Structure 1
Amino acid sequence: MSGRVRVGTVDELGPGERTIVEIDGEAVGVLNVEGDYYAIQNTCEHMGGPVCSGRVQGKLVAEFVEPGKRPEEDFSDDKTIACPWHGWEYELETGEHIGDDSISLETYDVVVEDGVVYVE
């Protein structure tokens, strides 16, 4: 990677906001999710869809109580993003596909310095 890429100010990328930057010819989405910043490859591994324009939510987790009973489901604090084309879902922190950890998107470190957001 070619060092640090300026994304914008924290005011320009407030909670719930997202933007796309180019890093070494690759489109990378930078998202502010509840005050936490994430940077992830914007090209879905399935069919190349724009992952970073998809839905962000907590990761769905389930616990099987006993055979024949419906699992108890809840959303964790771990955030995921789903490609809007076909719903392939990835963990924002690691880029791993939900359900198949052999598939993943590139993730990048995000740094905030003096009110400016950078991807490293």
Structure 2
Amino acid sequence: MTTRYRVAGTDDFTDDSDRIICEVDGLEIGVFYVDGEYYALANYCVHQGAPLCEGQVTGEMAVDDNWEWQYDHDPCVVTCPWHEWKFDLETGVNISDERYVTPTFETEVEDGAVYVLR
């Protein structure tokens, strides 16, 4: 059974790339607002238990068709503040090794409130 938890108002997110870390049903979850979308993932790095959601949110460098480096906003990743492991905000997958995944949660927005489904 899925339960919907109100975690914040949309106006609690002050700007793009903002986040709120909260407790939902005994689990600490980071809710991110990036480019008009909300993402939620466990505030726990699967590497050594660091507070993952306290890390920097960025895109990544990628090589284009001409073999030149370019900054790509997709995927949007959060970088673990302890050992710099990077996880895709949407999927929770480590961008260097798909074996490592942090749990993600569906979000909903209704009447100016942001909800996490768990």
TM-score range, shorter chain: 0.7 to 0.9
Counterparts of 2:65 and 2:85 in 1: how far apart (Å)? Answer: 23
Deviations 1:24-66 (A, max 9, x none): 322110011132111011100111111111111113222586x
Counterparts of 1:118 and 1:8 in 2: how far apart (Å)? Answer: 7
Poorly superposed stretches of 4+, deviation over 4 Å: none
1:2, distance to aligned residue in structure 2 (A): 5.2
1:68 match: none
User: In the alignment, is the contact (CA less than 8 A) between 1:41 and 1:105 conserved in 2?
Assistant: yes
Segments of 5+ residues of structure 2 without an aligned counterpart are none
Residue aligned with 1:11, SS: helix
Give the alignment partner of residue 104 of structure 1, picking from 90, 101, 105: 101
Q: Which structure is larger by alpha-carbon Rg, 1 or 2?
A: 1
1:56 match: 57
User: In the alignment, is the contact (CA less than 8 A) between 1:54 and 1:83 conserved in 2?
Assistant: yes
Aligned partner of 1:46: which letter?
H
TM-score under structure 1 length normalisation: 0.85
Segments of 5+ residues of structure 1 without an aligned counterpart are 66-70
Give the alignment partner of residue 70 of structure 2, picking from 62, 70, 74: 74
Q: How many residues align?
A: 115
Deviations 1:89-110 (A, max 9, x none): 0000100001100111101111
User: In the alignment, is the contact (CA less than 8 A) between 1:14 and 1:32 conserved in 2?
Assistant: no
